[in-house]
A and B are shown apart, each in its own frame.
Chain A
Amino acid sequence: DAGVIQSPRHEVTEMGQEVTLRCKPISGHDYLFWYRQTMMRGLELLIYFNNNVPIDDSGMPEDRFSAKMPNASFSTLKIQPSEPRDSAVYFCASRGTGTRTEAFFGQGTRLTVV
């Protein structure tokens, strides 16, 4: 398996533009997580899905952020409109349902909003 695949690896955009980050989880995994990493806040869980259904989105900073999982092999995280304070590395992770299973992370998307 190729692991969790995120795209793009780097994104530079202007303030006010819409940004869409993409994630393909490991085949067969039932859980998908979106994290944000910054120097100030460390790793923050934004939202996670189980069987394509959002379970906890309490970490989504505000209404400008939205996430979808239309099927088991694809998820998006959208920011509209983007702001400079959204600059961070965004990670996607997935795990299976089996007991005591760990999560596997993608390489991340480094977002810079100028």
Chain B
Amino acid sequence: QKEVEQDPGPLSVPEGAIVSLNCTYSNSAFQYFMWYRQYSRKGPELLMYTYSSGNKEDGRFTAQVDKSSKYISLFIRDSQPSDSATYLCAMTKTGTASKLTFGTGTRLQVTL
């Protein structure tokens, strides 16, 4: 069983829709949770990070962490065609802060 599970999609939504992306994890040692966006043939770029449980908002993006359920989410409001990319969740354990454990990634397509 993988430490981090993520639905690979693809997920197709119309422009302007609210997108919900999710990951589950099995190890309660994970403390920092991140969402990366990866365009085709590019390296991942950090969108948001959160520490422990709670919500964090940045523009059209909201990240949620529920440690009791070992479940994290990324919401994208008013989705745009430029949001079409693969979204990767990632997390780090206490004491091994720099080693990122990634999910499989969810491919998102926002259509006009």
Bound pair: A and B?
no
User: Which residues of A approach B to under 8 Å, CB–CB?
Assistant: none
User: Which residues of B approach A to under 8 Å, CB–CB?
Assistant: none
